[in-house]
Amino acid sequence: MRTGKDAARARLWQVLEERAPASGDRLPPERVLKGLVGCSRETLRGALAALEARGEIWRHVGQGTFRGRAPLGRPVKDTLLLEATTPADLMDARRLLEPQVATAAAMRRAPEDIALLRQRVANGRAARYRAECERADDAFHRHCQVILAWPKRDAVASNHAVISVA
């Protein structure tokens, strides 16, 4: 038996409350929502359009559907790309990008920069806990950012978002 439009809207609202209760929360993809709501993709899209028209959700092609009104004049969340990336993809990107970033920083450095970068690497190697290692790695990247005179932006410096550099 097919789910009617009104029943699909009611069920979608219930799923929204369960899966994305706060403004800015991302809804599951349409293929998942279709199963949760128990309707066709066409019916689901109609229900989503109704919610979007009421300002309950907003959609951005390639990034997802989110709870609440679309942000005005603000970039979409920096971590979206990262959330859709596997750890293996992130490590591949880091292996490709980081040697070039470190090389560029080394070519533009002042003598005291090398000592500080070496200290950051030593701190990472001496770290006993993952969080300590990540802080040292972030500090290394932040100093490369300073040497390269890149804009001060956390997404650029953070090792967790290195692939989201715009």
Residue-wise pLDDT tens digits, 62-120: 788 988 887 765 555 555 555 556 777 777 877 888 788 778 877 877 888 888 888 88
* pLDDT per residue as tens digits for the range 38-63: 999 999 999 999 998 888 898 887 78
Residue 12: pLDDT over 90:
yes
pTM of the model: 0.45
What pLDDT score was predicted for residue 29? 92
What pLDDT score was predicted for residue 132? 81
Sorted by where each begins, the domain ranges of the chain are 5-72, 81-164
CA distance 146 to 112: 13
Residue 162: pLDDT over 70:
no
153: left (phi over 0), alpha (psi -120 to 50) or beta: beta
Residue recorded with tokens 């390639």: 62
For 94-111, letters b (16+ CB in 10 Å) and e give eeeebeebbeebeeebee
CA distance 18 to 155: 30
From 34, 33, 30, 23, select the one nearest 66 (Cα to Cα). 23
Mean pLDDT, all residues of the chain: 78
What pLDDT score was predicted for residue 11? 93
Work out the pLDDT band at 154, boundaries 50, 70, 90.
Answer: very low
Distances (CA, A) of 81 to 60, 85, 159: 13, 6, 14
Most confident of 16-30, 68-82, 83-97, 140-154: 16-30
Domain 5-72 has CATH 1.10.10.10: yes
What pLDDT score was predicted for residue 81? 53
